[in-house]
Amino acid sequence: MVTLHQLSDFIGSNFQTKEFTINDSFPSYHYEGYCPQTGELLKLPRTPQAEAIAIGLMQYLDRDQVYSREGKMYGILLVELPSGEQRILKAFSGLLNGSGIVEGWVPPIPGREEVVLDEKFTLIKLEAIKQEIIKLKELPERSQYKQISEGFEQKLQEMSDRHRNCKQERHNKRQKISEILKDEELKTKLQELDEASRRDGIERRQLKSQRDQALQPLQQIIDTADAKIWELKKQRKELSRQLQAKMHAAYNLINFLGKSKTLQELMPFGLPTGTGDCCAPKLLHYAAKHNLKPLAMAEFWWGESSGVGSCVNGEKIQGQKTLAKKIPGKFYGACVERCQPLMGFLLSGLQSRNDVETQSYQNHVSLGERFANTSPQIRSNLSIIYEDEWLIAVDKPPGLLSVPGRYLHNQDSVLSRLSNLLPTAENITAVHRLDMDTSGILLLAKNLETYRQISKQFQERQVYKVYEAILAGAMSSLSATEEGIIELPLWGNPDNRPYQEVNQQYGKPSLTKFKLVKVENNRTWIKFIPLTGRTHQLRVHAADPQGLGIPILGDRLYGCNTETKRLHLHAKELHFNHPQLKQKIHLKIEIPF
């Protein structure tokens, strides 16, 4: 049973009655997301009052050592009842001491009960695999191998030192006897010294042979164990993947519009391990389901932190990267990979019911809100230039991403807008990419099979693409050929992202055909036909001295200092074979500059 706590359970009455209230305290953080229906940025604050409630929960946890045994994220949600009274919900991430349902805490998102038996058996298998891997890593043959190997290495080193001294002595003897002996006597003595040298070589080879004979049986056992460990890790990864897939298909989230979706529907292109088990989704789902109005939320870490990556209820997934250790008692925001992608859906319908934001926040908007307010395309529909049952092509405007970025401020994209506009867009996928500042034809597939078929055409260079650009200068008569091919390998320096550079050693092959259209008013119009699809390929091939030597107008990243409103690069034409209709499709749009 979930307990709706009084505020006094966690904070004193003085805090509630003085200057810190939900309407006039300035938030230190916002849980944010774009509404899938409207594209509106929705926000739920973490206020000083919410943090004070969370600190009260920390003090409660600190009194019981059971909560310090395993580190995890905890959270509180300040809610308003239909009567207007304020109450507090509390939640933990994953399982608490092996259980998902604990009295007084928000339960897991519905769906776990459907896979609880699979989860139990999977965790037993994972533990068995873990113990078997530990046993294989601690084989006595490994320490025996190391001990024997070190012993032989010591003997070989001692022998090498002795042989080195003998060799020097023989060298000295050769010089000496060459001065005092002659003919047969000299020849005999030299043969004796050569024979001593050969005996040293034989001795060394015999010791190495003894070493190999002693180590080979142990090495076979170790190699067999290592192969078994690799296979067990592979099994562990697959078991974890299968369990997570079942969980994600079963988990069903509800938002404040009353709409329900599974995790797979919300994140069709892959879900990081642990998605849906964090505090924020559990708290918001419960509030929406029980008609509770969220006012503020706060999440914090409590207990030890091992710094491991994503887990299935404590079982670290093989291959997950190690993360920085969490700090007990520190407040954290929504995790980028698991919670942030769900926020827009979970908060949908909240703003119309909950006017949490005040006028004092308007001068302190988040980066995501600033982006929404300054982008003129944020609420406009896309211009669709082709659509059928399998494919859709749009005229992407400059300043809009092809697909959502990783962080909150760059979620607006062609893909996210189409996902909101189209009624059956669960599996829509961008087949290729255009740079954010490049305009023109962007092709997307409506199902995974079509995506795979079209992607193969791109990979095998069966798709014909034409771009047109204006260069920020006039090509001289010496360098301006009518047409040609630029072949410059491109490399993305990891220390200077997203900048690409020509690098003969590390660069990937990059080919671009070009054709001069015209030179006018100290500008050059160029048609580009990329034969490969590297990041920023046309921009670098235009700007680099080994290419055309003039940056594209508006391309500040690659050296254009001319003031202009946009990058003058446009994807004008796209030719490909329709995988279902078996027809040649030729898309073409006008240049907007």
List the domain boundaries for the chain. Answer: 7-108+251-365, 133-246, 383-588
144 or 426, which is more confident: 144
425 or 13, which is more confident: 425
Looking at residue 3, its pLDDT comes to 77
**557: helix, strand or coil:** helix
| 569-577 and 439-445 beta bridge pairing | parallel
| CATH match for 383-588 among 3.40.50.300, 1.20.1050.140, 3.30.2350.10, 3.40.50.720 | 3.30.2350.10
pLDDT digits (tens, 9 = 90+) for 431-463: 999 999 999 999 999 988 999 999 999 988 899
Largest CA distance in the chain: 120
8 or 39, which is more confident: 8
Please, which pLDDT band fits residue 277 given cuts at 50, 70 and 90?
Answer: confident
> How many distinct helices (H) and strands (E) make up the chain?
13, 22
CB atoms within 10 A of CB 374: 9
Q: How far apart (Å, rounded) are the C-alpha atoms in residues 177 and 186?
A: 7
Q: Is the pLDDT of residue 237 over 50?
A: yes
Beta bridge partners of 122: none
Q: Which amino acid is at 414?
A: V
pLDDT digits (tens, 9 = 90+) for 16-66: 444 444 444 468 888 988 877 777 788 899 998 999 999 999 998 888 777
Please, which pLDDT band fits residue 288 given cuts at 50, 70 and 90?
Answer: very high
Active-site entry in 277, 395, 435, 437: 435
**Most confident among 15-19, 359-363, 408-412 (mean pLDDT):** 408-412
Q: Is the pLDDT of residue 529 over 70?
A: yes
Q: Is the pLDDT of residue 372 over 70?
A: no
pLDDT mean over 208-222: 94
If phi > 0 it is left, if psi is from -120 to 50 it is alpha, else beta; for residue 399 that is left
pLDDT mean over 54-83: 87
Q: Is the pLDDT of residue 323 over 90?
A: no
What does the block give as tokens for 122?
């999977």
Looking at residue 371, its pLDDT comes to 32
Peptide bond into 376 cis (omega under 30): no
CB atoms within 10 A of CB 256: 23
73 neighbors 310 (Cβ within 8 angstroms):
no
Looking at residue 276, its pLDDT comes to 63
Q: How far apart (Å, rounded) are the C-alpha atoms in residues 478 and 463?
A: 33
Looking at residue 426, its pLDDT comes to 64
Half-sphere exposure (Cβ direction) of 92: Cα atoms closer than 13 Å: 25
**Most confident among 97-106, 144-153, 425-434 (mean pLDDT):** 144-153
Please, which pLDDT band fits residue 285 given cuts at 50, 70 and 90?
Answer: very high
Element spanning 580, H or E: none
Q: Is the pLDDT of residue 315 over 60?
A: no
Element spanning 239, H or E: helix 183-250
Q: Which of 70-84, 119-133, 234-248, 383-397 has the lowest mean pLDDT?
A: 234-248
Q: Which of 87-101, 113-127, 320-334, 391-405 has the lowest mean pLDDT?
A: 320-334
Q: Which of 210-224, 404-418, 540-554 has the lowest mean pLDDT?
A: 404-418
Looking at residue 380, its pLDDT comes to 42
pLDDT mean over 260-271: 68
Q: Which amino acid is at 50?
A: A
196 neighbors 169 (Cβ within 8 angstroms):
no
What's the 3-state SS for 124-153? HHHHHHHHHHHHHHCCHHHHHHHHHHHHHH
359 or 143, which is more confident: 143
pLDDT digits (tens, 9 = 90+) for 151-179: 999 999 999 999 999 999 999 999 999 88
pLDDT mean over 250-270: 76
Looking at residue 442, its pLDDT comes to 96
Please, which pLDDT band fits residue 318 given cuts at 50, 70 and 90?
Answer: very low
- End-to-end alpha carbon distance in the chain: 63
Looking at residue 16, its pLDDT comes to 47
Q: Is the pLDDT of residue 564 over 60?
A: yes
CA pseudo-torsion sign 156, 162, 164, 170: negative
Q: What is the pTM assigned to this prediction? A: 0.43
Residue 118 among the catalytic residues: no
Q: Is the pLDDT of residue 11 over 90?
A: no
**517: helix, strand or coil:** strand
Looking at residue 22, its pLDDT comes to 41
